[in-house]
Structure 1
Amino acid sequence: MQGVSRESLATAEEQLDALLATAGTDGTAVGQALFAVVDLLDANVSLRRALTDPSNEADAKAGLIGRLLDGKVSADVVTLLSGMARSRWSRARDLSDSIEKLGSSAIIAGAEAGDRADRVEDELFRFERIVDADPELARALADRAAPEASKSALVDELISAKAAPEAVVLIRRAVLNGRGQNLDRALDANVQLAATRRDKLVAHVRVALPLEDDQRARLAAALTTLYGKRVHLNVDVDPSVLGGIRVEIGDEVLDGTVSRRLDDVRRQLSR
C-alpha cells in the first residue's frame, strides 16, 4: 500500500478506534458490517472505482456511500465509510483492503472487550498449525471451486465448540472470503493485528516438548525484558528441534536448539 493509501488508512483507524471506544458499541457487529461492505465492493468493480476516482468530488463519493448503506448498517459505520470515501487512495483495491483490515480490527476489539484477545490469538494460531500439518486439508480449504457449504462444514469440524466467537468469525472469514489471499497469511495477519492493537509482539516458539505454564511465563518475561514490549507466545511442539528452543519474532531468530548446534558441527566437519 503506497503512501497516500497508508495515510488514509491511518486516519480511518483513528476513526474506528473512536467509534469502538463509544459505550455500547459492539465490535463484532461493526466488523461484520464492514466485511459485508468489502464483499459488496469486491463484487462491483465500477462501484469501487467510483469511490476511489480522484476526479470525483469527495462529497459526491460520501453521498454515494450514504445512499447505498443508510438503513443497512449503523449510522456510525456509514459515517466511518463516508470518511474513507472522501479520502484519497493509490489504487481502487486499497479501499476494500483497508475496510477488510478495519473489519478484522473491530472483531478483535470485541474480543478485547470480552477479555478474550489472548484466547483468540491462540486459536487462530492453532487453526493455522492444523491446516499446515495436513496438505490435503489445506487444499480442500483453498479450493475456490469447492462449494461454500462443504468448506463451511470442514471449518465446523475443525473449530472447537468452546472456541471464542471472534476466532470463529475470523477463521470463517479467512477460509470462505479469503479474497485471493493465502490462508496462512490471512490468519497470521489477524494474529499480528491482535498483537499490534495491544502493543505486543508475537513470538513463534518451537520446542521439542510442551512448555509448562511456569516455563511459558518465564520465557515471556525474558522476551518482554529483551524487546521492551509485552510478548505473546505461539508455541509449536516440533520434535525435530531435539532440544533447546527456537524463537522467531518478526525477521529475527533466536536459536538455541540442539539441532541447530548439530548443524553447526556438520558444517564445520564438511569444510
Structure 2
Amino acid sequence: MAETYVSGAAGRYATALFELARDANAVDAVKADLDRFSAMIAESDDLKRLVRSPVFASEEQERAIAALLAKAGITGLSANFFKTVAANRRLFTVEAILRDFALLVAAYKGEVTAEVTVAQPLSDSHAATLKQALDALTGKDVKLAVEVDPSLLGGLKVKVGSKLVDASLKTKLNSIRTAMKEVR
C-alpha cells in the first residue's frame, strides 16, 4: 500500500476509515457499504444536494444521513463514519472520500484499474483476453474500466497508472497526417 497516496481532508478521512476497517477485518463490508452509499448519491439529486450544499445545518445533515443509512441498512463502522463526517461538517468531501477509500482498498488487495477506451464495446472474450494480458504485464489483478469513444475509429487506448498505450486508429491517422505535412 506504500505506493498509494491520498491527500487533503478527504484523504485523511479515507485513510482513517480504511485503517479502522482493516484493523476490524471489515474492509470488504465497509467497501460494500460505501459502494451502496455512492450508488445512492448517483441516483438521487436530493442526496447530491445534501452532501454538496453548505446551506444545510450540521444537525439537518446528521438527521438526514442517519435516516438514509437506516433505510439502506448501512450500520456499524460505516454508519458511524458517515455520521462523524456529517457532524464535522465535512459531508461535502464524501464523494472524494469514497474515491480515495476505493484506491486504498485496491492497493491493499493488489488490484490496479486499467482505463480502456475503445471505438466499439468489447465482447466478453476480448475483455477477458485484454484483462489476462494486463494481469500478466502488471503482475497484479487488473480491473477494466471500459469507455466507448466512437471517435477513435478503431483500436484502443489503455491507461494503467501513469502509463498510456494509444493504439487507436485516430492517433495513427493523425501521425500519418503530421508526417505527410513534414514531407511537403
The two structures have a TM-score, normalised by structure 1, of 0.41
- Alpha-carbon deviation of 1:247? 0.9
Q: 1:97 to 1:221 in 2, by over 3 A?
A: closer
C-alpha distance in structure 1 between counterparts of 2:103 and 2:171, whole Å: 27
Cross-structure match for 1:22: none
Q: 1:112 aligns with which of 15, 28, 50?
A: 28
Cα distance, 1:210–1:188 mapped onto 2, change above 3 Å: farther
Secondary structure at 2:114 match in 1: strand
SS of 2:122 mapped into structure 1: coil
Report if the CA contact (8 A) 2:111-2:143 is conserved.
yes
Name the CA distance, whole Å, in 1 between partners of 2:173 and 2:20: 46
Check if 1:98 corresponds to 2:12: yes
Report SS of the residue matched to 1:256.
strand
Is residue 207 from structure 1 mapped to residue 118 from structure 2 by the alignment? yes
* Counterpart among 169, 181, 184 of residue 270 in structure 1: 181
User: What's 1:54 paired with?
Assistant: none
Please show how residues 246-265 of structure 1 align to structure 2 within 5 Å. Answer: 246-265=157-176
Structure 1 vs Structure 2: percent identity of aligned residues?
25
Identify the structure with the greater strand proportion: 2
> Higher RCO, 1 or 2 (CA under 8 Å, sep at least 6)?
2
The Cα shift of 1:268 comes to: 1.6
Is 1:239 aligned to residue 150 of structure 2? yes
**Alpha-carbon offset, residue 198 of structure 1:** 0.6
Structure-2 separation of matches of 1:251 and 1:104:
24
Work out the CA distance in 2 between the residues paired with 1:242 and 1:141: 41
Give CA deviations for 1:116-136 in whole Å, capped at 9, x if unaligned: 69xx5xx96x999x8xxxxxx
Residues 11, 100 of structure 2: 8 Å contact kept:
no
Structure 1 residue 245: Cα displacement: 1.2
Runs of 4+ in 1 over 3 A off after TM superposition: 96-100, 104-111, 113-117, 139-149, 176-183, 185-188
Structure 1: unaligned runs, 5 residues or longer: 1-5, 7-92, 131-138, 157-162
Cα pair 1:203 1:234 within 8 Å, conserved: yes
1:194 counterpart (81, 105, 120): 105
CA distance in 2, matches of 1:188, 1:209: 27
Partners of 1:102 and 1:259 in 2: how far apart?
Answer: 44
Shift of 1:217: 1.6
- Looking at structure 1, the residues matched to 120 and 50 of structure 2 have their Cα atoms a distance apart, in angstroms, of 29
Match of 1:43 in 2: none
Give the count of matched residue pairs.
155
Tell me the TM-score normalised to structure 2 length: 0.57
- RMSD of aligned residue pairs (Cα, Å): 4.9
